[in-house]
Structure 1
Amino acid sequence: MLATSDIRDVGGGSYGDPMTVRPFVIDVPQPVLDDLRDRLARTRFLDDSPRRPTSGMTSTYLRELVASWQSFDWRAREAWLNQHPQLLADVDGVTLHVVHRRSADADAPALLVMHGWPHTFALQLAFADLLTDFHVVVLSLPGFAFSPPLDESPTEQRLAELAHTLMTDVLGYSRYLTYGEDISANVSDLVAATHPEAVAGVVVTHAHFLTQDEREATTDPDERAFYDRMAAGWYEQAAYAHVQGTRPDTLAAALNDSPAGLLAWLTEKLVEWSDTPAGDPAAVERRISRDQILTEATLYWVTQSIGHSFQTYVDGGDATIPPVDVPAAVFVQRHEHDNPESVARRFYRDLRVFERLEEGGHFTVAEVPEAMAERVRTFAAAVGSGRPRSLER
């Protein structure tokens, strides 16, 4: 298998000493792909269990996906991925995989884009491609895809500092906009809160949540109703987070050995968390195509990164995040449609936009890329991003 420690970089180049940046291309060895197809062909399927609880996966849909994965043209997807300029950047002793697509306009605004779990950088590229008038940086978080894991706990504070150093000291942007989803939403907020001198604005689709103590203390009826609803629905979906946080190695051993199991584990969350009707798993493909789903699964498989991706659930979360003073645009995604504006206004102290999206769930920029690209463009024009430093070549 192609482990993250075996990733291949090509060429050379520097953005300034001692931080180095090396061009990178994805080139999965053919034996890895052959082994994947062989394992898929030998999948032992199970029928749905009696009285199975509703989830984002069924035996029927999994069989369809596995059949598609067996004939999936990875080389075509690999070529598409490699159309996006990719780098391996050395940042404070850590190697980060980055897609860095510069605009033809040197004075274009810079935008940092970060993914969460269970997706990778690849799911956000269609959105990035629409922003040709931006310098777009799509970061692979440590332990995901082609970014090797940290030797330390991947705390939100550590990830925020790595992301900021990447944008400023390595890539040379004196000011930039930031966006995060899922586990990187807090990271994005932390970057904005702790580096206001460099962050021109923060774009948010996973708006800040009150702490548990704040939730218990609030007397606002809308705030209480939202957090009560979230808590009531969490029990039925929380098993994945509990096992990833308490038994990560045991789960990873199974998923790293069974591509069908890995596919089921990842896709269930793509289904449940996207803005699609419940009860029909295949409906996810109205938002996230089958090619995109299989690309995500293949990236996890060939890099053997599923176990590393669990580390943020073990010891990475619950940072204390100070309020954000830089301009903010909050676009509330559908799964948090009733997230109170009052909380956003207390936390994002310079809130320029608060909008409840009519479409788009947890993976917002992948599900509605055109709508989000236009919103980001409008927000950037309104707040200005400042003139980025000349990029060192």
Structure 2
Amino acid sequence: MSAAARPFRIDVPDDVLADLRERLARRRIPADSPRRPPSGMSAGYLDDLARSWLAFDWRERERWLNAHPQFIAEIGDASIHFAHLRSARPDAPALLVMHGWPHTYALQLDFADLLPDFHVVVASLPGFAFSSPYRDGPVTDPRLAETMHRLMTEVLGYERYLTYGEDVSAYVNDLIAATYPEHVAGILVAHAHFPSAAERAELVEPDQVAFFARLDAEREPNGAYGHVQATRPDTLAAALGDSPTGLLAWLVEKLVEWSDTPPGDPAAVEARISRDRLLTEAMLYWVTDSIGTSFRPYFEGADQPEPMPPVDVPASVHIQRHEADYPESLARSYYRDLRVFERLEEGGHFTVAEVPAAMAERARAFARGLGMLPG
């Protein structure tokens, strides 16, 4: 590892935890509106979560997180935090794992733990958790792709690696593979490539047109969060950064709605993502005061004005349940060396967090097929 990376341990000050407990104890939760739209959150569930957070043994969870070797590296004008789980096999394949919003690196550690035959790097995107935001200039997908690639090559010294991303980092995942094919051995995908707006306007295949029409129809009632984060980020951050209960509601609503769980049953998400894991996500946003900087990809880099270059490296595509009708023809036109295309039977938006064992086996099978692991 480069000397540019320094070891990092989480150590939240006691006074930060005391302040959090005081705020949670004084929580004020409004009653559910009588005719409110369906949501992944309700007053009863939120109050139950807040009670659990008040009693949460953070020090125990902190010890679990710190059992994963973590580091900070200076890359350009950002300090990038990452967990680096080295395999006992020196020749093990390297795998970059990137999160999206509203989760953090922590939600993907269970997946990483299941891959002892890989060197796994679980990175925090700039402005999330313990990674600083970029100090100058906007957050864009090409910039994120360059930062993550430099982490893998310049900082960690991996000449060849596999890459995986979700949500905000899905385009980043594609861009890394398309831009640095001489270094990327393959791309693992659960959030398959979406064409640009201009490209979508030219689509004529019925299944392709129908897929994006469905997404557009669902965006109207369900996309308000993204509109607010893209248009009034600081106003929203002022509210969420001052109220742990509000932050909890904002984060867990999406973790519930976007997981592969029955609609209208918020507690069902905990069969996929345990309550301790949900509270860990809220805690990391709270103690790092990073909810505002996590919005930056929405208002600085959300537009995709130009088509992205195709991916020519080997690809293994596994369609998560919230995009179950994603057309295979789109994947085949973008991922030019598509080795696997399948529709997952389980697992939603937070795929490797919800079905870590299934996705670990798929990563392993992909690496075996590339000759990076013994058959």
SS of residue paired to 1:358: coil
2:22 paired residue among 38, 43, 53: 38
2:66 paired residue among 58, 63, 82: 82
Contact 2:320 2:346 in 1 (8 A): yes
Contact 1:144 1:305 in 2 (8 A): yes
**Structure 1 residue 91: deviation in Å?**
1.4
Tell me which residue corresponds to 1:9.
none
Q: Distance in 2 between matches of 1:134 and 1:15?
A: 19
Contact 1:100 1:137 in 2 (8 A): yes
Listed as ranges, the matches of 1:192-271 within 5 Å are 192-271=177-256
Contact 1:177 1:199 in 2 (8 A): yes
SS of residue paired to 2:241: helix
Contact 1:200 1:385 in 2 (8 A): no
Tell me which residue corresponds to 1:8.
none
Offset from partner CA, 1:282-320 (integer Å, 9 cap, x none): 111111110000000000000000000000001123344
Specify the code of the residue in structure 1 equivalent to 2:97: V
Specify the code of the residue in structure 1 equivalent to 2:371: G
Deviation >6 Å, runs of 4+? none
SS of residue paired to 1:153: coil
Q: CA-atom RMSD, angstroms?
A: 1.2
Tell me which residue corresponds to 1:306.
291
2:168 paired residue among 171, 179, 183: 183
Tell me which residue corresponds to 1:316.
301
1:364 paired residue among 351, 356, 361: 351
SS of residue paired to 1:257: coil
Contact 1:275 1:335 in 2 (8 A): yes
Q: Distance in 2 between matches of 1:27 and 1:259?
A: 19
Contact 1:203 1:328 in 2 (8 A): yes
Specify the code of the residue in structure 1 equivalent to 2:77: G
Listed as ranges, the matches of 1:129-144 within 5 Å are 129-144=113-128
Contact 1:96 1:140 in 2 (8 A): yes
Specify the code of the residue in structure 2 equivalent to 1:24: F
The answer on 1:374 being equivalent to 2:361 is yes
Tell me which residue corresponds to 1:155.
140
1:109 paired residue among 85, 90, 93: 93
Tell me which residue corresponds to 2:77.
93
SS of residue paired to 2:62: helix
Contact 1:154 1:311 in 2 (8 A): yes
Offset from partner CA, 1:17-45 (integer Å, 9 cap, x none): xxx11000000001000100000000011
Q: Distance in 2 between matches of 1:221 and 1:336?
A: 16
Q: Distance in 2 between matches of 1:214 and 1:276?
A: 32
Contact 1:200 1:384 in 2 (8 A): no
Aligned length: 371
Gapped regions of structure 2 (runs ≥ 5)? none
Tell me which residue corresponds to 2:151.
166
**Structure 1 residue 214: deviation in Å?**
2.3
**Structure 1 residue 385: deviation in Å?**
4.3
Q: Higher mean Cα deviation, 312-321 or 349-358?
A: 312-321
Listed as ranges, the matches of 1:263-282 within 5 Å are 263-282=248-267
**Structure 1 residue 92: deviation in Å?**
2.4
TM-score (norm 1): 0.93
**Structure 1 residue 82: deviation in Å?**
0.2
Q: Distance in 2 between matches of 1:36 and 1:170?
A: 35
Distance 1:190 1:385, change over 3 A: farther
Q: Distance in 2 between matches of 1:221 and 1:120?
A: 36
Tell me which residue corresponds to 2:47.
63
Contact 1:181 1:363 in 2 (8 A): yes
